[in-house]
Amino acid sequence: MDKLNVTFCSFPDYSSNAKPLYEYMKERYKEQMNFSWVVNTQEIKEKLESMGIETYLIRTDEFYAHMEKVNVIFSTHCNLMGYKPQGATYIELWHGISSKNVGFLSDNITDSDIEWYSYAKEQVDYIIVPSEFWRVIFATRFDMNYNKILSLGYPKLDSMKDKNAKEKLQKVLGEDVDVSSYDKILYYMPTFRKGCGRKVESEVNLENIFNIQKYDEDRLLKHLEEKNCLVCVKKHPNEELDMKEIDSKYIKVIQEKSLQDNNITVNEILDAADVMITDYSSLGIEFLFLDKPVIYLVNDLEEYTKNRGFTFNNLDFWMPGNRVKNLYDLIEAIDGSIVEDFKYKEEFAKKKKLWFSNLEDGGCKNICDYFFEGNKLKKEIIDEKPSPIHILKERVEELSRTVDEKNAVIAQREARIKELDDFIAQIINSKGWKFLEGMRNIKKKLSGKK
């Protein structure tokens, strides 16, 4: 019996929700399924192949040939839309649960986003979310049937609960930094502000790491030294080049390349932090799964709200912790968060229940139990998908309707032409027309014209 061909794709390569699900399935099904990855760079392709992972570089001849044989697709950014073979099942794991206005929830959705999300609705068969709350949100964002949004899990939660997070952070930062020497570790991980085909969501102050207008780096560094705290900054991969260079014992930058060189994802080092500082990123929600405090730095809130906006437009709902706009409030919030019994602990616990339901891990088992029977797709999953003959029949019927509509238009035009022909014939055969013709002939003779 042929094995299922299951392929994974993510951004960045080999990360996000796709990596932990792949690792779980590889262990659970071992050699009973064929697993592969699609990546965006030759460098990552070679790295994964050196690990024994079947890998294809997107949009190459080998990739196109491989995709024709794929039965199941798991992706994090709808990365493989347009490459889905006939009869395959496309399962979207997505990459973030956030408060942002996304897709058809946007107040001013662009034509390009309408086209993209409409195409996603056609290509994607299921979207996986961590709780019933997100089913409603994602069904609206993608304008998809509610029963296609499944609250089964959020695989990256497995990565987030990595017991070796501090050791991995040490590898990423390098030997020049002794992670164990600090009393507390804080992360600053802001959202991606340049959008994907959208206008810039808010301007970024490149003169300092926190995007704060009135910034006093000396005061911040002095305070971090007093508290013996390390701040690790991780910008979105597409915005790393815009960041100001930093050279400090108490502020270090986590580079995407360093993560990839060490085969570590950002999710695998999250539990090394005691506090998360973010703005409108999905990390402001996801980090609550670790039962740790979050500080929301929202100094450009008005501009961001105008250009992007929030679902429900309720900041108290989405940001239950400290919301700060300047460096002085940020320092105060840091002091209030590095204590064991931090102020918003009870409120965070309530939000965690809503956003993650009863999940204790990433739900990889739930996902596999739902879709697979043994090492095969469940019959009900296959039966939900129309057969190739049914697809062709629907296409023929659609084309027949189009032809009938065109023929009806042609028939109407021919009838109108006949009406006009009859009308012209009536005019030509009328006494008035004949009289006018006679007068024109007399005029020609008098003028000497033939």
Render pLDDT for 240-291 as a digit per residue (tens, 0 to 9): 655 566 779 999 999 999 999 999 999 999 999 999 999 999 999 999 999 9
* pLDDT at residue 391, rounded to an integer: 47
Q: What is the 3-state secondary structure (H, E, C) of the chain?
A: CCCCEEEEECCCCCCCCHHHHHHHHHHHHHHHCEEEEEECCHHHHHHHHHCCCCEEECCCHHHHHHHCCCCEEEECCCCCCCCCCCCCEEEECCCCCCCECCHHHCCCCCHHHHHHHHHHHHHCCEEEECCHHHHHHHHHHHCCCHHHEEECCCCHHHHHCCCCHHHHHHHHHCCCCCHHHCCEEEEECCCCCCCCCCCCCCCCCCCCCCCCCCCCHHHHHHHHHHHCEEEEECCCHHHHHHCCCCCCCCEEECCHHHHHHCCCCHHHHHHHCCEEEECCCCHHHHHHHHCCCEEEECCCHHHHHHHCCEHHHCHHHHCCCEEECCHHHHHHHHHHHCCCCCCCHHHHHHHHHHHHCCCCCCCHHHHHHHHEECCEECHHHHHHCCCHHHHHHHHHHHHHHHHHHHHHHHHHHHHHHHHHHHHHHHHHCCHHHHHHHHHHHHHHHHHCCC
> What are the extents of the domains in the chain?
5-157+365-385, 162-357, 391-447
Mean pLDDT value across the chain: 89
Q: Give the global pTM.
A: 0.81
Q: Give me the tens of pLDDT residue by residue for the chain, a chain 450 residues long.
A: 589 999 999 999 999 999 999 999 999 999 999 999 999 999 999 999 999 999 999 999 999 999 999 999 999 999 999 999 999 999 999 999 999 889 999 888 899 999 999 999 999 999 999 999 999 999 999 999 999 999 999 999 999 999 999 999 999 999 999 999 999 999 999 987 554 444 555 555 566 788 787 788 899 999 999 999 999 999 876 666 555 667 799 999 999 999 999 999 999 999 999 999 999 999 999 999 999 999 999 988 888 888 888 998 888 999 998 999 999 999 999 999 999 888 999 999 999 999 999 999 999 999 999 999 999 999 999 877 654 544 455 566 667 777 877 888 888 888 888 887 777 777 777 777 677 777 777 877 777 655
* pLDDT at residue 196, rounded to an integer: 47
Same fold for the pair 5-157+365-385 and 162-357? yes
Cα distance between residue 217 and residue 300, in whole Å: 19
* pLDDT at residue 194, rounded to an integer: 56
- What is the tens place of the pLDDT at every residue in 27-49? 999 999 999 999 999 999 999 99
> Tell me: domain 5-157+365-385, CATH 3.40.50.11820, correct?
yes
- The domain made up of 162-357 has a fold known as Rossmann fold (3.40.50)
* pLDDT at residue 197, rounded to an integer: 47
Residue 74: closest CA among 21, 148, 144: 21
* pLDDT at residue 395, rounded to an integer: 61
* pLDDT at residue 409, rounded to an integer: 80
* pLDDT at residue 61, rounded to an integer: 98
* pLDDT at residue 193, rounded to an integer: 57
